Amino acid sequence: MSSLKILIIVTSHAVMGNTEEPTGLWLEELTTPYYAFIDAGLSVSIASIDGGAIPIDPRSQKSIGENAASVDRFLQDQSAMAEVKNTPGVNNVDPEQYDAIFLPGGHGTMWDLPQSQPLATVISQVYAQEKVVAAVCHGPAGLINATKPDGSPLVAGHKISAFTNSEEDAVGLSDTVPFMLESKLRELGANFHGVDDFQPFVVESGNLITGQNPSSSLLVAKKVLEALQVKVS
């Protein structure tokens, strides 16, 4: 068993803006990295923006046998399911205890991750200590208000990927989300990289690792393990 510890921080936001449409975490973006880390022998903790039960986007959770293998495994994992029903809030975690931070996506992230000062503080501290900061899909929304030690935007000058404007258009939510994530990251000075819609893609820039969409979750997890010098099978 490795002594390395990873903190996964997820959204607490459950509805699409002013609509009644449910949203939250995109489950596979948690479960695939979660088991990649667990199976590599790392210790994994899950926290959320507000604490308590994590809202899961219903579109990302189907009946057993109809999901990605990691989702089915998670849904049948009693300890994992207990953890997501009673998470600590990000303001109650000590970033000093962890070697890496990982931010899964889901549209809920677009509302609460950028607004969370405790999250921005945690990410800024982890980044300043040259530990790994990783995010996938809409998870990079959590990087928006994080800063470098000099106070400049954390993403400025870094190669970054995230759910693209084209992908947001494709899922029909460009007029629903509070901002376009790709555009916001570019405005902050990120060197944004992306590929064709919904294709797996990951970029590494210093101690920042970001993936484009749900299908990029495993690639991001593997890059995190490589950055932590853990052998990847």
Domain residue extents for the chain: 5-227
Tokens of 73: 């495994």
As to burial, measured by CB atoms within 10 angstroms (0-12 exposed, 13-18 middle, 19+ buried), residue 69 is exposed
Residues 49, 112 contacting (CB under 8 angstroms): yes
pLDDT along the chain (233 residues), means of 10: 89 93 98 97 98 98 97 98 98 96 98 98 97 98 98 98 98 97 98 98 98 98 96 72
Domain 5-227 has CATH 3.40.50.880: yes
Tokens of 109: 């992230």
Please choose, from the candidates 163, 160, 162, the residue with its C-alpha nearest in 3D space to the C-alpha of residue 203: 160
Instruction: Please enumerate in sequence order all residues whose Cβ is within 8 A of that of 81, keeping only pairs 6 or more positions apart, or say none.
Output: 74, 75
Report pTM.
0.97
Tokens of 165: 């404007």
pLDDT in the model for residue 19:
87
pLDDT in the model for residue 233:
63
pLDDT in the model for residue 18:
84
pLDDT in the model for residue 1:
53
Return left, alpha or beta for 226; rule: phi > 0 is left, psi -120 to 50 is alpha, else beta.
alpha
